Amino acid sequence: MADPRSWNPWHGCAKYSTGCKNCYMFALDAARKVPERSSVIARTASTGLPLARNRRGDFKIPPGYCLRVNMTSDTFLEEADPWRDEMWDIIRRRPDVVFYVLTKRVDRIMDHLPADWGDGYENVDLNISCENQRVFDMRWPLFEKVPARHKGFNLAPLLGPIDIAPALASGQIENVFAGGESFGGTRPCNHAWVKQISDDCRRYGVNFTFNSTGSVFVMDGKRYRIRKAIQAEQAYKSGLSHADHETEYVLYDPVDGHRLAKEELCPRVFNADKCMTCPNLHSCRGCILCTNCKGARRVGLDEILSLRERRPGTREE
């Protein structure tokens, strides 16, 4: 089933740096018995998803929702140059939806932003991925110069310690995500690396989410093999994630252009059981489009946070 949180106008990629070695997209295509698709960069049938409407004429993607863009590719791939203007046009036509854009190809961002980008689109959250200090030291100086309303890091797979303090000190970074390697990859993620990043983010008032331990997690010199099904839960139980503020996106009605009030945005609802130990809770827009949990009790953000307080998670080693 397609992930309702993602919008993939194209699919396929080329491995670009050390972190790509065990890419989940290649692993998932292999599991679906279509490994040849991974290396063929092609436009998909999902290109028009944000503009799709239901029988009532309403957009299927509601206002206030967040779509992760090209999670089975890279937005700034050279091979995608013929389609990118269409992508930006669709994003421009849905100023009521947040688009999370993640890339490794930082050197191509500046030359492939839309002509009216200015200081950035209010509804685009631009992020780069870094797996170790060497990669961060190459990518951050380039990313620092890119104008954007919202910026963040995805440090996954985290393959070594990274000092991101220079970026945090710039005041440009709102959110940082980190996680270990999985999907067949066994390069270890170390608790000490994650804690340092978490502490640095807290010091600068930047949200931090540790969303997965990965398959091999090292803590206090001990090496743990963690199955995929509980990697996110164990990351949550580490207590390293923290939300110091809510990212504020200024969104507008696509018809008359008025600024949308909070009450006009889709409600954030969550599965009262499954979402309890999800490390992404604060950054997630909720389960409003998900049909995987039929019959589940759905609650708002305040209620699920209250439930968490009454049943706090503890680290399991």
pLDDT digits (tens, 9 = 90+) for 233-289: 999 999 999 998 999 999 999 999 999 999 999 999 999 888 989 999 888 888 777
At 290, the pLDDT band (50, 70, 90 cuts) reads confident
- Beta-strand pair 42-43/207-212: unpaired
At 98, the pLDDT band (50, 70, 90 cuts) reads very high
Instruction: Report pLDDT digits (tens) over 182-191.
Output: 998 999 999 9
State mean pLDDT over 90-119.
99
* 235 shares a domain with 283: no
* 275 shares a domain with 262: no
Identify the pLDDT of residue 4.
77
Of the CA atoms within 13 Å of residue 113, those in its CB half-sphere come to 17
Say how far apart CA 223 and CA 255 lie, in whole Å: 55
For residue 84, pLDDT beyond 70: yes
Say how far apart CA 97 and CA 94 lie, in whole Å: 6
pTM, full prediction: 0.95
* 281 shares a domain with 220: no
For residue 143, pLDDT beyond 80: yes
State mean pLDDT over 106-127.
99
* 301 shares a domain with 252: no
Contacts of 231 (CB under 8 A, 6+ apart): 179, 180, 182, 212, 213, 214, 215
Assigned domain for 284 exists: yes
Say how far apart CA 163 and CA 196 lie, in whole Å: 8
Identify the pLDDT of residue 288.
73
State mean pLDDT over 196-207.
98
State mean pLDDT over 167-196.
98
Identify the pLDDT of residue 312.
58
Assigned domain for 235 exists: yes
Identify the pLDDT of residue 182.
95
State mean pLDDT over 140-156.
99
Residue 182 DSSP SS3: coil
Helix/strand/coil percent split, the chain, to 5: 30, 20, 50
* 151 shares a domain with 78: yes
* 290 shares a domain with 191: no
Q: Find the distance separating the first CA and the last CA of the chain, reported in whole Å.
A: 32
* 307 shares a domain with 246: no
Say how far apart CA 127 and CA 129 lie, in whole Å: 7
* 79 shares a domain with 52: yes
Q: Nearest to residue 93, comparing CAs of 38, 129, 48?
A: 48
* 104 shares a domain with 21: yes
Identify the pLDDT of residue 282.
85
For residue 71, pLDDT beyond 70: yes
Assigned domain for 317 exists: no
For residue 100, pLDDT beyond 60: yes
At 314, the pLDDT band (50, 70, 90 cuts) reads very low
Structural domains of the chain, count: 2
Distance of CA 35 to the CA centre of its chain: 24
Identify the pLDDT of residue 6.
95
pLDDT above 70 coverage of the chain, percent: 97
* 284 shares a domain with 251: no
* 291 shares a domain with 249: no
Identify the pLDDT of residue 88.
99
State mean pLDDT over 35-52.
96
Identify the pLDDT of residue 286.
84
Instruction: Report pLDDT digits (tens) over 158-169.
Output: 999 999 999 999
Residue 177 DSSP SS3: strand
Assigned domain for 316 exists: no
Assigned domain for 1 exists: no
State mean pLDDT over 10-15.
97
Q: Which residue has the higher pLDDT, 5 or 111?
A: 111
Q: Which residue has the higher pLDDT, 55 or 297?
A: 55
Report DSSP state, residue 259: B
Residue 254's domain comprises: 6-266
- Range in 16-25, 199-208, 232-241, 284-293 with the lowest mean pLDDT: 284-293
For residue 150, pLDDT beyond 90: yes
* 178 shares a domain with 137: yes
